[in-house]
Amino acid sequence: MDKKWWKEAVVYQIYPRSFMDSNGDGIGDLNGITSRLDYLKDLGVDVIWLSPVYQSPNDDNGYDISDYRAIMQEFGTMEDFDRMLSEMHKRGIRLVMDLVVNHTSDEHKWFVESRKSKDNPYRDYYIWRDAKEGKEPNNWGSCFSGSAWKYDPQTEMYYLHLFSTKQPDLNWENPAVRKEVFDMMNWWCEKGIDGFRMDVISMISKPEGLPDGKIPEGGLYGDSGCVNGPHVHEYLQEMNREVLSKYDLMTVGECAGVTIEEAEKYASADGKELSMVFQFELVDLASGTYGKWTDKRVPLKDFKRVMTAWQTELEGKAWNSLFLGNHDQPRCLSRFGDDSPEYRVVSAKMLATCLHMMQGTPYVYQGEELGMTNAYFHKLEDYKDIESIQYYTELTDAGLMEPDYMMKCLMLRSRDNARTPMQWDGSEKAGFTDGEPWIKINPNCKEINAASQLDDPDSIFHYYQKLIALRKEKDIIVYGEFEPLCREDNQIFAYMRKLDEERLLTVCNFSEQSAEFEVPVEFEGSRCLITNLDRKVFKGKIVLKPYEAFVLYK
């Protein structure tokens, strides 16, 4: 068992635009974050992953970067950043920065140069191709709808953008690009940051010759095949030699399309590439013809199958990251739990128990620790997210989805569900801002907010605080081996953890019905470490209440 600080850590993700506004312009900022560090210290997290704060025209809320070494004006200055970092370190909290290097903004000086002429020194920093029979160079679709190619009249060629037209893909085959990226990363490391979360890093290496991809049934565009491309591991090993190995960092790769086998390469225990990856198998469950745009819920049996596979198959080979939500996903309580007034609190605690007792590094997305729910905006004009707006238009214009149904899908799956402002208190602006917030505040801030939960010892906040503290107390929660129990049960997710002579049993009822469970004899007389209800006796056959969860230890 190879001990590492980042295996023992709990990470909190901040989406800066929506976390805390310090100057009344309705946009969260760095000074806002600094002002709330004591709250995070109190929660007990050890690492903050900060979504991008670099200079950006905000076509995709900061994931389109025009200067990697400058802070976005709306968020503050480099001095504000330095102060924030030092205040984090004073509290023993480490900082992981978002690294967005699959693409830049089209306003980045490299692209501004690149598009000027075919012989510009920056031309080859991006991926340019001639038209094919008067059309796009191939059939690839962008992840944000539409073609992945944009025609640029200046040089009469197309450039590749796997995301928005304002996010041209960098050409990683060019050694000069890799050197620029590594220099920039070293620059941030020298500033004293503690790691990187690497945006869509599994897509940086494009398939040889950029061939047409398979068009899924009912779809409009071909799959780019850029996921886990031919040189991605080479590039990451080079990055590791040039940057990562020189510092004591935590790194996590956002790896859409990663399989367990691939994850063993990205995050292998020999440390040649990254510390861990975000897998998408779980959050992509129950996808429909148009990917995430469906109203299907994830059946528990699939949830269990995927979680169990990652837990058992990475054991001893690579490290897991544990997450149910982030800024690209709907609120996990709304998606996997039950956000109705009756079951909101108990099901939020149950989900947290299930995730935090597993092996891996848990991630808490801002507001999750309060049980924040989806926004359920039902008017298109309330949505700000480029992906939501573009897909709504593409799918309804093409007659592929009924507008009402597509709106329902947005309410369930739009990224904006996770991007409404943090609910600090029950006032009109939720304590987030004194001005007009950039996106609507969820009106349920009156019932769901930090101020009231800090005062309530039974709140979701205090439950998370306890789960995080338990992880610090018990090595078995971090390092113990995972063993699934009652695999065929359609209501209960139960598993055991084992470390030498110690044993930990986690039992979660995922349904709104009561459910039977037989406590294994070896847990008779064991101690209950945490539960979301008030059961006292854990022996023989018991009947769990809706969404009940508990953890036994011996």
Q: Which is nearer to ligand GLC, 439 or 519 (CB)?
A: 439
Does position 504 bind ligand GLC by CB under 6 A?
Answer: no
Q: Which listed residue (100, 306, 346, 478) binds ligand GLC by CB under 6 A? A: 100
Does position 201 bind ligand GLC by CB under 6 A?
Answer: no
What three-state secondary structure class fits 253? Answer: strand
Letters for 358-397 (x = contact with ligand GLC by CB under 6 A, - = none) are ----------------------------------------
First to last CA, the chain: 21
* C-alpha torsion sign, points 226, 229, 235, 239: positive
List strand residue ranges (DSSP E) for 120-160, in order. Answer: 128-129, 149-152, 157-160
Which amino acid would we find at residue 316?
A: G
Q: Which listed residue (59, 273, 328, 338) binds ligand GLC by CB under 6 A? A: 328
Letters for 237-276 (x = contact with ligand GLC by CB under 6 A, - = none) are -----------------x----------------------
DSSP string covering 266-300: HTBTT-SS-SEEE--TTTTTT-BTTBT-S-PPPPH
Does position 25 bind Ca ion by CB under 5 A?
Answer: yes
On whether the CB atoms of residues 137 and 169 are closer than 8 A, the answer is no
Q: Which is nearer to ligand GLC, 125 or 163 (CB)?
A: 163
Q: Which residues pair with 67 in a beta bridge?
A: 55
Does position 200 bind ligand GLC by CB under 6 A?
Answer: yes
Residue 185 C-beta: closest distance to ligand GLC, Å: 17
On whether the CB atoms of residues 302 and 286 are closer than 8 A, the answer is yes
Q: Which does 23 bind (CB under 5 to 8 A by kind): ligand GLC, Ca ion, none?
A: Ca ion
Stretch that binds Ca ion, among 15-23, 136-144, 203-211, 510-518 (CB under 5 A): 15-23
Residue 181 C-beta: closest distance to Ca ion, Å: 29
Residue 11's nearest CA partner among 130, 72, 96 is 96
Q: Which is nearer to Ca ion, 87 or 212 (CB)?
A: 87
Does position 199 bind ligand GLC by CB under 6 A?
Answer: yes
**Residue 368 known to be catalytic:** no
Q: Which is nearer to Ca ion, 73 or 514 (CB)?
A: 73
Q: Which is nearer to ligand GLC, 63 or 319 (CB)?
A: 63
How many other CB atoms are there within 10 angstroms of residue 181's CB atom? 20
Q: Which residues pair with 543 in a beta bridge?
A: 516
Q: Which does 100 bind (CB under 5 to 8 A by kind): ligand GLC, Ca ion, none?
A: ligand GLC
Alpha-carbon gap, residue 200 to 253, rounded angstroms: 7
Residue given tokens 């992945």 in the structure block = 148
Alpha-carbon gap, residue 113 to 544, rounded angstroms: 63
Q: Which does 358 bind (CB under 5 to 8 A by kind): ligand GLC, Ca ion, none?
A: none
**Contacts to Ca ion from residues 29-68, by CB under 5 A:** 29
Alpha-carbon 445 to chain mean position: 23
Alpha-carbon gap, residue 397 to 50, rounded angstroms: 36
**Residue 524 known to be catalytic:** no
Q: Which does 27 bind (CB under 5 to 8 A by kind): ligand GLC, Ca ion, none?
A: Ca ion
Stretch that binds Ca ion, among 23-31, 45-53, 216-224, 284-292 (CB under 5 A): 23-31
Letters for 114-153 (x = contact with ligand GLC by CB under 6 A, - = none) are ----------------------------------------
**Contacts to ligand GLC from residues 151-180, by CB under 6 A:** 163
Q: Which is nearer to ligand GLC, 254 or 489 (CB)?
A: 254
Produce one character per residue of 328-364: b if its CB has 16 or more CB atoms within 10 Å, e if not.
bbbbbbbbbbbbeeebbbbbbbbbbbbbbbbbbbbbb
Q: Which residues pair with 362 in a beta bridge?
A: 322
DSSP string covering 453-506: HHT-TTSHHHHHHHHHHHHHH-HHHHHPEEEEESTT-SSEEEEEEEETTEEEEE
Catalytic residue among 254, 369, 385, 387: 254
Q: How many residues bind ligand GLC (CB under 6 A)?
A: 9
How many other CB atoms are there within 10 angstroms of residue 147's CB atom? 21
Q: Which listed residue (14, 27, 181, 411) binds Ca ion by CB under 5 A? A: 27
Residue 235 C-beta: closest distance to ligand GLC, Å: 17
Does position 63 bind ligand GLC by CB under 6 A?
Answer: yes
User: Active-site residues: which are they?
Assistant: 199, 254
Give the residues lining the site for Ca ion (CB under 5 A).
21, 23, 25, 27, 29
Give the residues lining the site for ligand GLC (CB under 6 A).
60, 63, 100, 163, 199-200, 254, 327-328
